[in-house]
Protein backbone atom coordinates (compact mmCIF):
# COMPACT_ATOMS: atom_id res chain seq x y z
CA UNK A 1 0.00 0.00 0.00
CA UNK A 2 1.44 3.39 -0.95
CA UNK A 3 1.57 6.22 1.51
CA UNK A 4 -1.66 8.12 1.92
CA UNK A 5 -1.60 11.56 0.21
CA UNK A 6 -3.00 13.30 3.28
CA UNK A 7 -0.98 14.22 6.40
CA UNK A 8 -0.62 11.60 9.09
CA UNK A 9 0.52 11.81 12.69
CA UNK A 10 1.91 9.27 15.13
CA UNK A 11 3.02 9.20 18.76
CA UNK A 12 6.11 7.16 19.47
CA UNK A 13 8.45 6.28 22.32
CA UNK A 14 12.00 7.48 21.69
CA UNK A 15 15.22 7.81 23.69
CA UNK A 16 16.53 11.32 24.42
CA UNK A 17 18.43 12.81 21.49
CA UNK A 18 21.75 12.67 23.37
CA UNK A 19 21.46 8.99 24.34
CA UNK A 20 23.56 6.40 22.47
CA UNK A 21 20.43 4.39 21.62
CA UNK A 22 18.90 7.26 19.63
CA UNK A 23 22.17 7.98 17.90
CA UNK A 24 22.76 4.33 16.99
CA UNK A 25 19.18 3.92 15.76
CA UNK A 26 19.43 6.97 13.51
CA UNK A 27 22.76 5.81 12.12
CA UNK A 28 21.44 2.31 11.48
CA UNK A 29 18.48 3.68 9.50
CA UNK A 30 20.58 6.36 7.81
CA UNK A 31 18.59 9.39 8.95
CA UNK A 32 17.83 11.48 12.01
CA UNK A 33 14.09 12.22 11.65
CA UNK A 34 14.41 15.20 13.99
CA UNK A 35 17.34 17.08 12.49
CA UNK A 36 17.26 15.68 8.95
CA UNK A 37 20.92 14.62 9.16
CA UNK A 38 21.73 11.61 6.99
CA UNK A 39 24.35 8.87 7.39
CA UNK A 40 26.12 6.32 5.25
CA UNK A 41 25.97 2.55 5.69
CA UNK A 42 27.06 1.06 9.03
CA UNK A 43 30.31 -0.80 9.41
CA UNK A 44 30.26 -4.22 7.82
CA UNK A 45 27.64 -3.51 5.11
CA UNK A 46 27.83 -2.09 1.63
CA UNK A 47 25.24 0.54 0.74
CA UNK A 48 23.13 -1.62 -1.58
CA UNK A 49 22.67 -4.41 0.95
CA UNK A 50 22.03 -1.94 3.77
CA UNK A 51 19.35 -0.01 1.88
CA UNK A 52 17.76 -3.25 0.67
CA UNK A 53 16.90 -4.27 4.24
CA UNK A 54 16.10 -0.88 5.81
CA UNK A 55 13.90 0.89 3.24
CA UNK A 56 10.64 0.79 5.19
CA UNK A 57 11.95 1.42 8.73
CA UNK A 58 14.13 4.25 7.37
CA UNK A 59 11.01 5.90 5.96
CA UNK A 60 9.34 5.91 9.38
CA UNK A 61 12.45 6.83 11.39
CA UNK A 62 13.82 5.21 14.53
CA UNK A 63 10.89 4.80 16.93
CA UNK A 64 8.74 2.45 18.97
CA UNK A 65 5.08 2.90 18.16
CA UNK A 66 2.62 3.95 20.87
CA UNK A 67 -0.21 5.56 18.86
CA UNK A 68 0.10 4.24 15.29
CA UNK A 69 -0.03 6.67 12.34
CA UNK A 70 -3.44 8.26 11.87
CA UNK A 71 -5.16 11.07 10.01
CA UNK A 72 -6.67 13.85 12.08
CA UNK A 73 -10.44 13.96 12.21
CA UNK A 74 -12.00 16.76 10.19
CA UNK A 75 -12.05 19.98 12.20
CA UNK A 76 -9.13 18.94 14.44
CA UNK A 77 -5.97 20.99 14.18
CA UNK A 78 -2.36 19.89 14.68
CA UNK A 79 -2.20 22.47 17.48
CA UNK A 80 -4.95 20.63 19.34
CA UNK A 81 -3.07 17.35 19.02
CA UNK A 82 0.15 18.98 20.24
CA UNK A 83 -1.55 20.58 23.24
CA UNK A 84 -3.25 17.32 24.16
CA UNK A 85 0.03 15.41 23.95
CA UNK A 86 1.77 17.99 26.13
CA UNK A 87 -0.96 17.64 28.76
CA UNK A 88 -0.86 13.83 28.50
CA UNK A 89 2.90 13.78 29.10
CA UNK A 90 2.58 16.17 32.04
CA UNK A 91 0.10 13.78 33.66
CA UNK A 92 2.25 10.67 33.22
CA UNK A 93 4.89 9.48 35.66
CA UNK A 94 8.39 9.09 34.16
CA UNK A 95 9.21 5.61 32.90
CA UNK A 96 12.49 4.20 31.63
CA UNK A 97 12.71 2.46 28.32
CA UNK A 98 13.20 -1.30 28.75
CA UNK A 99 16.44 -3.22 28.38
CA UNK A 100 16.49 -4.23 24.72
CA UNK A 101 18.08 -6.86 22.52
CA UNK A 102 18.01 -7.46 18.78
CA UNK A 103 15.62 -10.29 17.96
CA UNK A 104 13.09 -11.43 15.41
CA UNK A 105 9.52 -10.16 15.51
CA UNK A 106 7.77 -12.27 12.93
CA UNK A 107 9.69 -11.78 9.69
CA UNK A 108 11.77 -8.71 10.58
CA UNK A 109 14.50 -7.86 13.06
CA UNK A 110 13.78 -5.42 15.86
CA UNK A 111 15.05 -4.25 19.22
CA UNK A 112 12.72 -5.88 21.74
CA UNK A 113 12.49 -5.93 25.55
CA UNK A 114 14.31 -8.86 27.10
CA UNK A 115 11.47 -9.22 29.62
CA UNK A 116 7.91 -7.86 30.01
CA UNK A 117 7.62 -4.19 30.97
CA UNK A 118 4.05 -3.55 32.17
CA UNK A 119 4.62 0.21 32.57
CA UNK A 120 5.42 0.53 28.86
CA UNK A 121 2.42 -1.61 27.87
CA UNK A 122 0.17 0.58 30.02
CA UNK A 123 1.64 3.74 28.52
CA UNK A 124 0.98 2.43 25.01
CA UNK A 125 -2.61 1.44 25.78
CA UNK A 126 -3.37 4.76 27.41
CA UNK A 127 -1.83 6.58 24.47
CA UNK A 128 -4.00 4.67 21.99
CA UNK A 129 -7.18 5.47 23.91
CA UNK A 130 -6.41 9.06 24.93
CA UNK A 131 -6.09 10.40 21.39
CA UNK A 132 -8.57 8.25 19.53
CA UNK A 133 -11.23 10.95 19.46
CA UNK A 134 -8.84 12.98 17.27
CA UNK A 135 -8.44 10.16 14.72
CA UNK A 136 -10.37 10.09 11.44
CA UNK A 137 -12.04 6.75 10.65
CA UNK A 138 -10.12 4.40 8.40
CA UNK A 139 -11.02 4.33 4.74
CA UNK A 140 -12.33 1.14 3.15
CA UNK A 141 -9.03 0.77 1.30
CA UNK A 142 -7.04 1.02 4.53
CA UNK A 143 -9.19 -1.62 6.21
CA UNK A 144 -8.90 -3.91 3.20
CA UNK A 145 -5.13 -3.57 3.14
CA UNK A 146 -4.84 -4.43 6.82
CA UNK A 147 -7.14 -7.42 6.47
CA UNK A 148 -5.07 -8.73 3.57
CA UNK A 149 -2.20 -9.31 5.99
CA UNK A 150 -4.32 -11.93 7.77
CA UNK A 151 -5.85 -10.93 11.09
CA UNK A 152 -7.34 -12.92 13.93
CA UNK A 153 -10.95 -12.10 14.87
CA UNK A 154 -9.68 -10.12 17.87
CA UNK A 155 -7.19 -8.18 15.75
CA UNK A 156 -10.00 -7.42 13.30
CA UNK A 157 -12.10 -6.06 16.17
CA UNK A 158 -9.18 -3.93 17.39
CA UNK A 159 -8.73 -2.57 13.87
CA UNK A 160 -12.38 -1.58 13.65
CA UNK A 161 -12.41 0.08 17.09
CA UNK A 162 -8.97 1.67 17.29
CA UNK A 163 -7.77 1.93 13.70
CA UNK A 164 -4.92 -0.56 14.18
CA UNK A 165 -4.92 -4.31 14.90
CA UNK A 166 -1.84 -4.54 17.14
CA UNK A 167 -2.86 -2.59 20.22
CA UNK A 168 -3.64 -3.47 23.86
CA UNK A 169 -3.10 -7.22 24.33
CA UNK A 170 -1.82 -7.51 20.73
CA UNK A 171 0.80 -4.79 21.32
CA UNK A 172 4.49 -5.71 21.16
CA UNK A 173 6.91 -2.92 22.04
CA UNK A 174 9.77 -2.78 19.54
CA UNK A 175 12.09 -0.67 17.40
CA UNK A 176 11.98 -1.98 13.84
CA UNK A 177 15.41 -2.44 12.26
CA UNK A 178 14.79 -4.27 8.98
CA UNK A 179 12.20 -4.88 6.32
CA UNK A 180 10.47 -8.24 6.08
CA UNK A 181 13.08 -9.37 3.58
CA UNK A 182 14.94 -12.67 3.07
CA UNK A 183 18.10 -10.55 2.84
CA UNK A 184 17.64 -9.58 6.50
CA UNK A 185 18.34 -13.19 7.45
CA UNK A 186 21.98 -12.95 6.28
CA UNK A 187 24.48 -13.28 9.15
CA UNK A 188 26.16 -10.08 7.99
CA UNK A 189 23.00 -8.10 8.82
CA UNK A 190 22.89 -9.40 12.37
CA UNK A 191 26.63 -8.78 12.77
CA UNK A 192 26.21 -5.18 11.59
CA UNK A 193 23.32 -4.64 14.01
CA UNK A 194 25.43 -5.96 16.87
CA UNK A 195 28.30 -3.65 15.93
CA UNK A 196 26.03 -0.62 15.58
CA UNK A 197 24.02 -1.09 18.77
CA UNK A 198 26.45 -2.91 21.07
CA UNK A 199 27.47 0.06 23.23
CA UNK A 200 24.00 1.61 23.13
CA UNK A 201 22.30 -1.53 24.42
CA UNK A 202 24.88 -1.88 27.19
CA UNK A 203 24.22 1.67 28.42
CA UNK A 204 21.76 2.43 31.21
CA UNK A 205 18.21 2.45 29.75
CA UNK A 206 17.18 6.06 29.21
CA UNK A 207 13.94 7.77 30.19
CA UNK A 208 11.16 7.36 27.66
CA UNK A 209 10.21 10.45 25.71
CA UNK A 210 6.98 10.81 23.75
CA UNK A 211 7.61 12.04 20.22
CA UNK A 212 5.09 13.48 17.81
CA UNK A 213 5.90 12.33 14.27
CA UNK A 214 4.38 13.78 11.10
CA UNK A 215 4.14 12.64 7.50
CA UNK A 216 3.01 15.32 5.09
CA UNK A 217 2.13 13.06 2.18
CA UNK A 218 5.58 12.86 0.58
CA UNK A 219 9.06 12.23 1.90
CA UNK A 220 9.73 10.38 5.16
CA UNK A 221 8.19 10.85 8.60
CA UNK A 222 9.67 13.67 10.67
CA UNK A 223 9.92 14.08 14.43
CA UNK A 224 8.14 17.36 15.20
CA UNK A 225 8.38 17.64 18.97
CA UNK A 226 9.37 15.67 22.08
CA UNK A 227 7.59 15.47 25.43
CA UNK A 228 8.93 13.81 28.59
CA UNK A 229 6.45 12.34 31.12
CA UNK A 230 6.90 14.33 34.32
CA UNK A 231 4.02 13.73 36.72
CA UNK A 232 4.50 12.88 40.39
CA UNK A 233 3.42 9.46 41.60
CA UNK A 234 0.18 10.96 42.95
CA UNK A 235 -0.53 12.64 39.63
CA UNK A 236 0.03 9.39 37.79
CA UNK A 237 -2.41 7.55 40.07
CA UNK A 238 -5.06 10.20 39.46
CA UNK A 239 -4.42 9.94 35.72
CA UNK A 240 -4.98 6.17 35.80
CA UNK A 241 -8.23 6.59 37.75
CA UNK A 242 -9.51 9.04 35.16
CA UNK A 243 -8.40 6.83 32.28
CA UNK A 244 -10.24 3.82 33.70
CA UNK A 245 -13.30 5.74 34.88
CA UNK A 246 -12.65 4.40 38.36
CA UNK A 247 -13.34 0.83 37.30
CA UNK A 248 -9.74 -0.40 37.01
CA UNK A 249 -10.38 -1.36 33.39
CA UNK A 250 -9.29 0.58 30.34
CA UNK A 251 -11.32 1.02 27.18
CA UNK A 252 -9.29 -1.68 25.44
How confident is the model over 151-170, as pLDDT tens digits? 999 999 999 999 999 999 99
Asked, for residue 248, whether it belongs to a domain, the answer is no
How many residues does this entry show for the chain? Answer: 252
Asked, for residue 16, whether it belongs to a domain, the answer is yes
The CATH number linked to 142 is: 3.90.1140.10
Asked, for residue 30, whether it belongs to a domain, the answer is yes
What's the distance, CA 175 to chain centroid? 7
Asked, for residue 2, whether it belongs to a domain, the answer is no
Asked, for residue 251, whether it belongs to a domain, the answer is no
Long-range contacts of 77-84 (CB under 8 A, 24+ apart): 78/9, 78/214, 80/134, 81/9, 81/131, 81/134, 81/212, 82/212, 82/224, 82/225, 84/130, 84/131, 84/134
Asked, for residue 249, whether it belongs to a domain, the answer is no
Residue 2 has pLDDT above 90, yes or no: no
Q: How many domains does the chain have?
A: 1
Residue 251 has pLDDT above 70, yes or no: no
Q: What is the 3-state secondary structure (H, E, C) of the chain?
A: CCCCCCCEEEEEEECCCCCHHHHHHHHHHCECCCCCCECCCCCCCCHHHHHHHHHHHHHHCCCEEEEEEECECCCCCHHHHHHHHHHHHHCCCCCECCCEEEEEECCEEEEEECCCCHHHHHHHHHHHHHCHHHECCCCHHHHHHHHHCCCCHHHHHHHHHHCCCCCHHHCCCCEECCCCCHHHHCHHHHHHHHHHHHHHHHCCCCECEEEEEEECCCCCCEEEEEECCCCCHHHHHHHHHHHCCCCCCCCC
Asked, for residue 188, whether it belongs to a domain, the answer is yes
Q: For residue 122, what pLDDT is reported?
A: 97
Domain that holds residue 208: 8-243
Residue 236 has pLDDT above 70, yes or no: no
Q: For residue 32, what pLDDT is reported?
A: 98
Asked, for residue 3, whether it belongs to a domain, the answer is no
How confident is the model over 27-38, as pLDDT tens digits? 999 999 999 999
Burial 83-94 (b: 16+ CB within 10 A, else e): eebeebbebbbb
Amino acid sequence: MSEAPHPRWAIHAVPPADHPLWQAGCRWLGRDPETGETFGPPAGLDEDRWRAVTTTPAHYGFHATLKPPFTLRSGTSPETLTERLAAFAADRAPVALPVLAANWLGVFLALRPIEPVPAIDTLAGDCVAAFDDLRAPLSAAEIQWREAAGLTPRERALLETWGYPYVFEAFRFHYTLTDASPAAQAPSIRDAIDMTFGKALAATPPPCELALFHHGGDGPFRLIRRFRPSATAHGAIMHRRCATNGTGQSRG
